[in-house]
Amino acid sequence: MIRRYAAANAGHWQAILDEHEMGCTSRPEDVAAAVLFLCRDALRTTGAVLTVDSGLLLH
């Protein structure tokens, strides 16, 4: 769905990408990796926010 939007609205899509420090948006695989980390390696992590947004909050 996002690919269709990007193809139909190239100028707006580029503006969205320009807002991200990494020049791309997060992929489903990025979110899955964060979930896997929380399930496997972050057993004693409490009160933390794990943001998966390709650097959007840095902008």
**What are the structural domain ranges in the chain?**
2-58
Query: Looking at the predicted structure, is the pLDDT value of residue 47 above 90?
Result: no
- Asked if 56 and 15 touch (Cβ cutoff 8 Å), the reply is no
- Asked if 14 and 24 touch (Cβ cutoff 8 Å), the reply is no
Using 50, 70 and 90 to split pLDDT, how confident is the model at 59?
low
**How far is residue 1's CA from residue 8's CA, in Å, rounded to a whole number?**
11
| pTM: predicted TM-score of the whole model, two decimal places | 0.59
Q: What is the pLDDT of residue 54?
A: 76
Name the residue with tokens 């943001």. 51
Q: How far is CA 18 from CA 4, 40, 41, in A?
A: 19, 33, 32
Rounded to the nearest angstrom, the gap between the alpha carbon of residue 42 and the centroid of all alpha carbons in its chain is: 20
